Copies of this chain bind each other. A is one copy, B any other.
Amino acid sequence: MKIEQLQQDISLKRALEKGNEAQLQTVRQVIEDVRTQGDVAVRMYTKKWDGFTLNNLKVTTEEIATAVDTFDRELYQDLQEAAKNIRAYHEQQVRQGFTMPLADGSYLAQKVTALDAVGLYVPGGTAAYPSSVLMNVIPAQVAGVERIVITSPANQEGLLPQGVLVAAHLLGITEIYKVGGAQAIAALAYGTESIQAVDKITGPGNIFVALAKREVFGEVAIDMIAGPSEIAIIADETAYADEVAADLLSQAEHDPLSCAILVTTSIKLAQEVVQQVEQQLTQLPREAIARQAIEQLGKVYVTATIEEAIKAVNSLAPEHLEIMTEHAEEVAAKIKHAGGIFIGRYSSEPVGDYFAGTNHVLPTNSTARFASGLSVDDFIKKSSVVYYSQKTWQENAPKIARLARLEGLEGHARAVESRGWKK
């Protein structure tokens, strides 16, 4: 980890992971097979790639009960409390439509409705996180989605990770399938005999899952394609180097491509953080991953002023931003682009990953310039409503007809005028 003088904007944007041609062809074949052959294709690809014979696609109530009964009680309560916090925050996001009265009894309105059905993809292996289940399911529940489905690849014994089943149970989700990969995405998008199609698919996955989501985009809605995790920290001389280093490493341990950046006005802090990162790295179970991340995309920048640091961070648009400075709230107020903002010494980023209530599905790779974390908004849609009274129609019909004719759409003009044909 090197200390650099910051000269200009920070840009660490990485190329979109689009896979190679062979991967794309594979994914297209899988989607086509699942679309045309349904469960047969799902079973065939599961045997081929996940290595077990998929009889019942759906997880049984017994499997869930076993997972819950053998789960640590204290952790179960922790998950429950986290779920409560996440629900409380997301309930603040609920929106009603509105009605806007016009003259003469006319009105415009916006009507908000929940999606009917959504599917959450949970990746397999070590990345099968109970917290992901909470973060994806709760916003959909708060939005009022009636049918929420989870699908995830099982291990070679045909079992799903215990934590995932427990988290699902805790939220009352019972429709869970042992299907992973592109075949899962295809099943959710087009439906099979066993899995009814959904309207939106969320959740991360490997390159095949990401490519499949891109392919079905438009048929169904998808969330953003997530990239490796990122953290940026703005700190001044009031911050503690060991805490800054620990927070940088908390993201670095996610992925060799994770990005951990400190922007500070204090050269002393910068130097101490570099030392602390090295020292803590040697103690970290996931040292190998975190070290790669720190070597590749770990940066410490020194700026003359906090204003410069703010500008740099806005140019980066990081997934996570911590602010450990004097007057941290004033700094936060000047941040335009960041997925999640963590203010002050005690708001370490993992607080938001697990527990505080905000969502941990956040925009990566500088997409915080235009994208938001997962929220209730992702599970609702809005219809516009127009009611024109006779009088409002009468007053405005000539204008509307003129505008339609300006665009060469005579049929539009006549439709509006037709209400006067019989007088």
Chain A residues packing against B (C-beta within 8 Å): 16, 74-75, 78-79, 81-82, 88-89, 92-93, 95, 98, 100, 108, 110-111, 113, 115-116, 126, 129-131, 163, 199-200, 214, 217-221, 224-225, 240, 242-243, 246-247, 249-250, 252-254, 280, 284-286, 290, 329, 332, 335-359, 362-363, 367-373, 375, 377, 381-390, 392-393, 396, 399-400, 402-404, 406-416, 418-419, 421-422
Contact = CB atoms under 8 A, between A and B. Distances in A.
B100 A92 contact: yes
A79 B404 CA distance: 11
A388 B344 contact: yes
A64 to B, nearest CB: 18
Contact of A402 (B75, B129, B253, B372): B75
A370 B403 contact: no
A359 B384 contact: yes
Nearest to A253: B411
A375 B386 contact: no
Given A370-B200, A412-B250, A399 B78 contact: yes
Contacts of A242: 418, 421-422
Contacts of A390: 345-346
A377 B380 CA distance: 12
Contact of A381 (B354, B368, B393, B412): B368
Given A92-B98, A218-B367, A225-B218, A384 B352 contact: yes
Contacts of A243: 415, 418-419, 421
A247 B358 contact: no
A410 B280 CA distance: 12
6 contacts: A116-B369, A131-B403, A343-B385, A344-B388, A368-B383, A372-B381
Residue of A349, A387, A396 ringed by the most chain B CB atoms within 10 A: A387
A324 to B, nearest CB: 11
A419 to B, nearest CB: 6
A100 B89 contact: yes
Contact of A355 (B130, B217, B396): B396
User: Which 7 A-B pairs give the minimum distances between C-beta atoms?
Assistant: A358-B384, A346-B393, A253-B411, A250-B415, A246-B418, A350-B412, A372-B382
A284 B411 CA distance: 7
B337 A113 contact: yes
Given A130-B407, A373-B383, 16 more contacts: A100-B357, A111-B335, A115-B370, A116-B336, A218-B224, A218-B225, A218-B367, A246-B418, A342-B387, A346-B389, A350-B404, A351-B393, A353-B412, A356-B388, A363-B381, A375-B382
B381 A370 contact: yes
A134 to B, nearest CB: 10
A57 to B, nearest CB: 23
A253 B410 CA distance: 9
Nearest to A377: B377
Contact of A348 (B224, B335, B372, B418): B418
Contacts of A392: 346
A200 B422 CA distance: 47
Given A79-B403, A219-B16, A340-B386, A246 B414 contact: yes
A163 B218 CA distance: 31
A133 to B, nearest CB: 11
Contacts of A89: 100, 108, 384
Given A340-B383, A383-B339, A384-B362, A410 B286 contact: yes
